[in-house]
């Protein structure tokens, strides 16, 4: 086997889904590579996964090569790029590098967790360049919907990789640095081997609107509103929060924060200087003391999260906030695919309360995406001129469309990689040469388990069809001692035909027990198995669903 250096790209998340970003770059001879990790993010579970809210990339390959993992670099502080760090880092134990804002968000959120006591993030600034041997990493400022987002120029002995992270071209992003086109063009002129690029908005033509345009729209809305104004947006969008605060100030209003996530972000933003000149936001204690036309609320829950402020306000269940006809609610966000039903539920509830609800469907410039549309992507490729393009950060449709689009941009090689692929970047012809273990883990309480874990599967079955629990005692003669204890949970009392389910369960239990030969009645396992099957079949015949049936037999 050759001892020549190879450069490979191995995504473990983010290629085939939006979210859960985790990528590895390997450099060196095949069995002696050193590795650099970029990002360590999570995604959110579908509502039907009972009791599971967070999904993480399976780190088993990264843990396997942890001795050669020289560092983990965070492009920015969004949860889909940094949210899995606390859970996965103990299995990696490598140095972590992040900008002050991302590091501050992580530290604030994970304060007090003993498992993280050994993790000290190495803070680096936008524009800095340093070595994580054998890699040379440069943090290049790019505009996005959170402060201090960075593209990465990763220089190696085999060539330079430009890892875009999340970005857009916005000359006036509201706060922070715009995308550094000058530096990106310089790096393109140096020569770029591969560009791993954001695909989120590749289906949309033109360019994403500027954050400054959104700020003007919000100012117009707040100025014209007769009653209270509620603005809900992503808690991490500090530029949007600043725009709301400036709009409120211009209209003689005060801003009240509603939601712990926003409170944490505001604390970090003030520490980093992103809210200079903005007066302190008020707490909820001030809500009842202010007139309706003096109030602007900044609230969490723009994606329909059931425990967030907007959901509780819409259900008239918030302990302090009550809305009235004539109040205005602005969804300064775009609904993430999969959240439509929950967001629509909140919108409809607010309309029932008499509020005027404004979304990006009724007034487009209440939100601007932090990701590039096709026109911006084309310009990015003009700047970088890579030899190899790898579409990333997207679902299957986004990645396929990005690949077709790149071919029109004149890139020589397009590699359509997915999670788990080992992509050879150099030397020789680029392409997929291997596959490593990959997948998804559920965060179940404080445990990390596979999606196919029996506990997770059982809870999904329980959510679908409920459970029947039966406890009975048998004596040495094989007779039932006392009355069985039967509990039905998650089943209706009656079927459509009027059959009473607990009576059906009782009948199946006693008929099955009585039908067993006496020697078999003395065997607890035989009794348990027979009753379980009979009860499940009887309920299924009457109701049309098969519940989980647990039978406990005690010998007395």
Contact 370, 166 (CB under 8 A): yes
Contact 469, 486 (CB under 8 A): yes
Contact 255, 352 (CB under 8 A): no
**Among positive and negative, which fits the CA dihedral 364, 17, 434, 86?**
positive
Element (H, E) at 274: none
Contact 474, 524 (CB under 8 A): yes
CA distance to 206, 339, 405, per residue, from 373 (Å): 6, 22, 12
**How far is 201 from 145, CA to CA, in rounded Å?**
14
Between CA 192 and CA 29, with CA 62 as vertex, the angle to 5 degrees is 55
C-alpha closest to that of 300 among 352, 361, 233: 233
Strand partners, 135: 132
Place of tokens 């039967």: 486
C-alpha closest to that of 368 among 246, 224, 217, 179: 217
21: tokens are: 């970003």
In 3-state terms, what secondary structure has residue 525?
helix
416: tokens are: 């359509």
pTM over 0.75: yes
H, E, C per residue of 227-248: CCEEEECCCCCHHHHHHHHHHH
Q: Can you give the pLDDT of all 556 residues of the chain as single tens digits? A: 457 899 999 999 999 998 899 999 999 998 899 999 999 999 988 766 777 888 999 999 999 999 999 999 999 999 999 999 999 999 999 999 999 999 999 998 776 554 555 788 999 999 999 999 999 999 999 999 999 999 999 999 999 999 999 999 999 999 999 999 999 999 999 999 999 999 999 999 999 999 999 999 999 999 999 999 999 999 999 999 999 999 999 999 999 999 999 999 999 999 999 999 999 999 999 999 999 999 999 999 999 988 899 999 999 999 999 999 999 999 999 988 778 899 999 999 999 999 999 999 999 899 999 999 999 999 999 999 999 999 999 999 999 999 999 998 889 999 999 999 999 999 999 999 999 999 999 888 888 888 888 888 888 888 888 999 999 999 988 899 989 999 999 999 999 999 999 999 999 999 999 999 989 999 999 999 999 999 999 999 999 999 999 999 998 8
Element (H, E) at 155: strand 150-156
Contact 295, 306 (CB under 8 A): no
Place of tokens 């990789």: 161
| Rg of the chain taking only CA atoms, in angstroms | 28
Element (H, E) at 267: helix 260-271
Fill in the DSSP letter of residue 367: -
**How far is 197 from 401, CA to CA, in rounded Å?**
13
Per-residue pLDDT tens over the stretch 336-394: 877 889 999 999 999 999 999 999 999 989 999 999 999 999 999 999 999 999 999 99
Give how far the C-alpha of residue 481 lies from the chain's centroid of Cα atoms, to the nearest Å.
53
The DSSP line for 289-352 is: GS-GGGEEEEES-TT--TTSHHHHHHTT--SS----TT-EEEE-S-PPTT-HHHHHHHHHHHHH
Element (H, E) at 411: none
Element (H, E) at 364: none
Fill in the DSSP letter of residue 398: H
Contact 537, 509 (CB under 8 A): no
C-alpha closest to that of 198 among 235, 149, 138, 238: 149
Q: Which domains does the chain have, with CATH numbers?
A: 6-206+369-450 (3.60.15.10), 211-366 (3.40.50.10710), 466-555 (3.10.20.580)
Strand partners, 441: 56, 450
């Amino acid at each position: 086997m050759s001892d020549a250096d190879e450069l490979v790209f191995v995504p473990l998340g983010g290629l085939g889904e939006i979210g859960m970003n985790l990528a590895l770059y390997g450099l060196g001879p095949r069995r002696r590579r050193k590795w650099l990790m970029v990002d360590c993010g999570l995604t959110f579970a579908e509502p039907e996964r009972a009791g599971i809210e967070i999904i993480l990339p399976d780190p088993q390959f990264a843990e396997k090569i942890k001795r050669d993992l020289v560092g983990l670099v965070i492009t920015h502080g969004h949860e889909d790029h940094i949210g899995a760090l606390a859970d996965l880092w103990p299995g990696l134990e490598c140095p972590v590098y992040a900008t002050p804002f991302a590091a501050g968000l992580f530290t604030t959120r994970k304060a007090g967790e003993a498992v993280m006591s050994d993790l000290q993030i190495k803070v680096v600034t936008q524009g800095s360049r340093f070595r994580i041997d054998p890699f040379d990493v440069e943090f290049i400022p790019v505009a996005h919907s959170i402060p201090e987002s960075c593209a990465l120029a990763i220089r190696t002995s085999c060539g330079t990789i430009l890892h875009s992270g999340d970005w857009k071209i916005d000359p006036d992003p509201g706060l922070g640095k715009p995308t550094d086109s000058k530096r990106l063009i310089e790096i393109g002129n140096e020569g770029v081997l591969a560009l791993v690029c954001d695909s989120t908005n590749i289906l949309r033509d033109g360019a994403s609107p500027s954050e400054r345009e959104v700020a003007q729209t919000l100012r117009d809305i707040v100025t014209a509103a007769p009653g209270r104004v509620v603005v809900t947006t992503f808690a991490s969008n500090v530029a949007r929060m600043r725009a709301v605060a400036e709009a409120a100030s211009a209209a003689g209003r005060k801003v009240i924060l509603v939601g712990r996530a926003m409170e944490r972000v505001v604390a970090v933003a003030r520490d980093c200087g992103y809210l200079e000149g903005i007066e302190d936001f008020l707490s909820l204690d001030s809500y009842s003391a202010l007139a309706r036309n003096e109030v602007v609320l900044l609230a969490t829950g723009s994606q329909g999260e059931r425990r967030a402020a907007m959901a509780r306000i819409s259900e008239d269940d918030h302990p302090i906030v009550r809305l009235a006809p004539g109040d205005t609610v602005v969804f300064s966000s775009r609904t993430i695919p999969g959240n439509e039903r929950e967001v629509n539920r909140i919108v409809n509830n607010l309309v029932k309360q008499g509020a005027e609800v404004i979304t990006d469907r009724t007034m487009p410039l209440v939100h601007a995406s932090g990701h590039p549309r096709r026109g911006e992507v084309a310009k990015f490729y003009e700047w970088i001129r890579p030899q190899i393009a790898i579409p990333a950060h997207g679902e299957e449709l986004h990645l396929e469309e990005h690949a077709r689009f790149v071919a029109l941009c004149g890139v020589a090689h397009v590699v359509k990689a997915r999670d788990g692929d080992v992509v050879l970047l150099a030397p020789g012809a680029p392409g997929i040469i291997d596959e490593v273990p990959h997948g998804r883990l559920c965060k179940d309480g404080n445990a990390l388990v596979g999606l196919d874990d029996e506990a997770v599967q059982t809870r999904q079955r329980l959510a679908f069809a409920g459970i029947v629990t039966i406890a009975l005692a048998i004596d040495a003669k094989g007779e039932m001692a006392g009355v069985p204890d039967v509990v039905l949970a998650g089943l209706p009392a009656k079927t459509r035909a009027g059959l009473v389910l607990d009576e059906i369960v009782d009948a199946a239990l006693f008929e099955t027990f009585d039908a067993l030969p006496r020697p078999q009645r003395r065997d607890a396992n035989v009794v348990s198995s027979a009753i379980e099957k009979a009860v499940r079949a009887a309920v299924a015949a009457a109701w049309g669903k098969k519940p989980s049936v647990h039978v406990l037999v005690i010998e007395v």
